[in-house]
């Protein structure tokens, strides 16, 4: 084989030509594989694509899924060929990076749970009850401590196959819902498919959504991340992070009004934005102002320095580069502390055609909380003592039990719950500060059942009564 290069002509044998082609193919293949691997790396996702979202990158690095790669959730744990087929569907995200777009507050690219979450969290595995103790500190001068202990009913694999009790009831039952906002903060329509194939529809009687809006909306099948939506990028309430700093000794509670000072700083820092160095400088100023106002005695200067160091690191990490954003911009649907979470559906105002609400009993997901406050003030040591031969009355299983439980109080209640004492300051079952000493976002037990149902576009709806 001949080929010319300028005025010179070269002779190449067949074997040499084949070798050159093979080398070229090998180089192209290696380059392609390297490029493919890089396009699936965290560095590519975080730097090349999402450098405009530094908070998500930081949150992922400090969360429980820090060793889970971005593509494992956003593309799924699937075969390479399927990944190649899915990659072009993300081109709209690339186009947004080129021409600019409004910062999204949710992900539209998560794969179904069976292709992502269940690669590690296999639903057929056993999930036993677990104990969680939350330590919180008050805003009083002593920053008094309170411990709340819960037994979380996750649900065991064998149980889920039958009666399916516990939080993972939602795993083994088909639940569909409608939400009109992209972050799914509100859910006006829910439908549950029972094991016998029948379906029960629940409508939020207090929702402002119209029948036309609900009938025209997409029905979603409930997935793991509809509750565990912050598993990959957790933005926790900074107040709880302060509690953890105090608990672990990184902040000394001996400093007067430690918790209240920390909360004041968190509130002030919500107006801080800009690049990291700019936020750090602004936070230094806030800390100096706080210290001057506190007028800490000289003997407590080491504790003051410890407080300032821990709070600066916390505030820099929880502040945002862009103005108008904070941890509140990213709701955590797991639980019901700062946002409705579970109470998006279990809120006391989702009713079926019989006027029965979605069950709201606290003990569906966890036991009644045990509260121990410092110095014993307001503690609830044991809400339900274990007594052989005493079963909960049938009233506890009524769908609307939480609406009427205050009216059901009688002498028999004391067999399990002890002396019935109303209030919010603790010391008894009906004055448990973990239940009655607070408000819950989204919960409403005063909304009446709706009027008879209407049916439109295949979705059963009803207007508020």
In a domain, 412, yes or no: no
209-240 pLDDT tens trace: 988 898 889 999 998 899 999 988 899 999 99
Question: What is the pLDDT at residue 184?
Answer: 93
Q: Is 178 a domain residue? A: no
Q: Which residues contact 90 (CB under 8 A, 6 or more apart)?
A: 109
Query: What average pLDDT score do residues 40-53 get?
Result: 76
Say if residue 3's pLDDT is above 70. no
Number of C-beta neighbours around residue 452 at 10 A: 8
Please report which helix (H) or strand (E) contains residue 459, including its range: strand 459-461
Model confidence at 452, in pLDDT bands (50, 70, 90)? low
The half-sphere exposure of 323 on its side-chain side, counting CA atoms within 13 A, is 2
Strand pairing class (189-193; 174-178): antiparallel
Three-state DSSP class for residue 295: coil
Of the listed ranges 97-111, 304-318, 352-366, the least confidently predicted one is 97-111
What is the distance between the alpha carbons of residues 384 and 127, in angstroms, rounded to a whole number? 24
Name the nearest CA neighbour of 66 among 76, 74, 58.
58
Helix axes 301-318, 238-247, angle to 10 degrees: 140
The answer to whether residue 295 is domain-embedded is: yes
* Residue at a domain's end among 98, 119, 140: 119
Full residue range of the structural domain in which residue 37 is found: 2-119
**CATH value at residue 96:** 1.10.3820
Would residue 424 count as lying in a domain? no
In a domain, 391, yes or no: no
Number of structural domains found in the chain: 2
d(CA 18, CA 16): 5
The one-character DSSP state at 366 is B
Q: Which of 255-269, 273-287, 399-413, 427-441 has the lowest mean pLDDT?
A: 427-441
pTM of the model: 0.83
Least confident span in 202-206, 243-247, 432-436: 432-436
Q: How confident is the model at residue 113 (pLDDT cuts 50, 70, 90)?
A: confident
Q: Give pLDDT tens digits for 371-428.
A: 888 877 777 765 555 555 667 788 888 889 888 888 888 777 877 777 777 777 777 7
Domain boundary among 273, 302, 329: 329
Mean pLDDT (the chain) is: 83
What pLDDT was estimated at residue 463?
38
Which of 295, 329, 363 terminates a domain? The answer is: 329
In a domain, 255, yes or no: yes
Any domain includes 130: no
Q: Which one is predicted more confidently, 352 or 427?
A: 352
Phi and psi torsions of 136, nearest 5° = -125, 155
Taking only Cα atoms into account, the Rg of the chain, rounded to an integer number of angstroms, comes to 28
User: What separation in angstroms does the CA of 463 have from each of 84, 156, 210, 220?
Assistant: 46, 38, 8, 22
Shortest CA distance to 370 belongs to which of 143, 131, 154? 131
Q: What are 415's two structure tokens?
A: 């067999």
Q: Mean pLDDT lowest for which of 2-6, 24-28, 29-33, 279-283? A: 2-6
> Do residues 231 and 107 touch, judged by C-beta distance below 8 A?
no
In a domain, 265, yes or no: yes
- Residue 264 CB burial class (10 angstroms; 0-12, 13-18, ≥19): middle
- Highest mean pLDDT out of 104-113, 344-353, 360-369, 428-437: 344-353
Contacts of 257 (CB under 8 A, 6+ apart): 139, 141, 143, 294
Which residues 6+ apart lie within 8 Å of 337 measured at CB? 237
Does 242 score more than 80 pLDDT? yes
pLDDT band at 343 (very low <50, low <70, confident <90, very high): very high
- Is 444 a residue whose pLDDT tops 70? yes
């Amino acid at each position: 084989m001949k080929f010319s290069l300028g005025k010179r002509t070269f002779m190449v044998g067949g074997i040499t030509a084949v070798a050159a082609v093979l080398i070229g193919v090998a180089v192209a293949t290696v380059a392609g594989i390297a490029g493919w691997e890089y396009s699936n790396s965290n560095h590519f996702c975080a730097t090349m694509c999402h450098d405009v979202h530094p908070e998500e990158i930081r949150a992922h690095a400090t969360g429980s899924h820090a060793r889970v790669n971005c593509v494992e959730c956003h593309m799924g744990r699937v075969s390479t060929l399927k990944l190649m087929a899915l990659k072009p569907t993300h081109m709209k995200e690339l186009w947004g990076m080129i021409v600019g777009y409004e910062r999204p507050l949710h992900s539209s690219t998560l794969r179904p749970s069976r292709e992502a979450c269940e690669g590690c969290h296999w639903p057929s595995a056993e999930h036993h009850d677990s104990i969680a103790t939350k330590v919180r500190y008050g805003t009083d001068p002593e920053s008094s401590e309170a411990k709340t202990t819960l037994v979380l009913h996750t649900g065991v694999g064998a149980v889920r196959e039958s009666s399916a009790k516990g939080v993972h009831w939602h795993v083994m039952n088909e639940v569909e819902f409608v939400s009109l906002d992209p972050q799914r903060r509100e859910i006006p329509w829910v439908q549950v498919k029972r094991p016998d194939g029948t379906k029960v529809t629940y409508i939020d009687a207090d929702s402002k959504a119209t029948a036309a809006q609900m009938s025209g909306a997409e029905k979603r099948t409930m997935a793991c991340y509809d509750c565990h939506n912050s598993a990959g990028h957790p933005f926790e309430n900074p107040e709880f992070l302060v509690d953890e700093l105090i608990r672990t000794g990184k902040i000394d509670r001996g400093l007067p009004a430690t918790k209240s000072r920390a909360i004041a700083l968190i509130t002030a820092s919500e107006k801080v934005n800009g690049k990291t160095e700019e936020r750090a400088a602004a936070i230094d100023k806030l800390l100096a102002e706080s210290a001057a106002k506190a007028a800490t005695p000289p003997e407590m200067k080491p504790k003051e320095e410890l407080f300032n160091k821990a709070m600066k690191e916390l505030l820099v990490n929880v502040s945002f580069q862009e103005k108008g954003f904070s941890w509140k911009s990213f709701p955590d649907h797991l639980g019901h502390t700062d946002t409705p979470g579970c109470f998006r559906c279990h809120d006391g105002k989702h009713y079926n055609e019989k006027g029965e609400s979605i069950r709201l009993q606290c003990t569906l997901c966890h036991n009644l909380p045990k509260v121990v406050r410092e110095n014993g003030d307001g503690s609830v040591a044991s809400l339900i003592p274990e007594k052989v031969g005493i079963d909960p009355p049938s009233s506890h299983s009524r769908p609307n039990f939480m609406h009427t439980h205050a009216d059901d109080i009688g002498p028999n209640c004391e067999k399990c719950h002890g002396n019935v004492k109303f209030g919010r300051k603790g010391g008894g079952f009906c004055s448990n500060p973990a239940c009655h000493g607070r408000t819950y976002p989204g919960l409403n037990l005063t909304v009446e059942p709706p009027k008879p149902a209407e049916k439109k576009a295949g979705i059963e709806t009803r207007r508020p009564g």
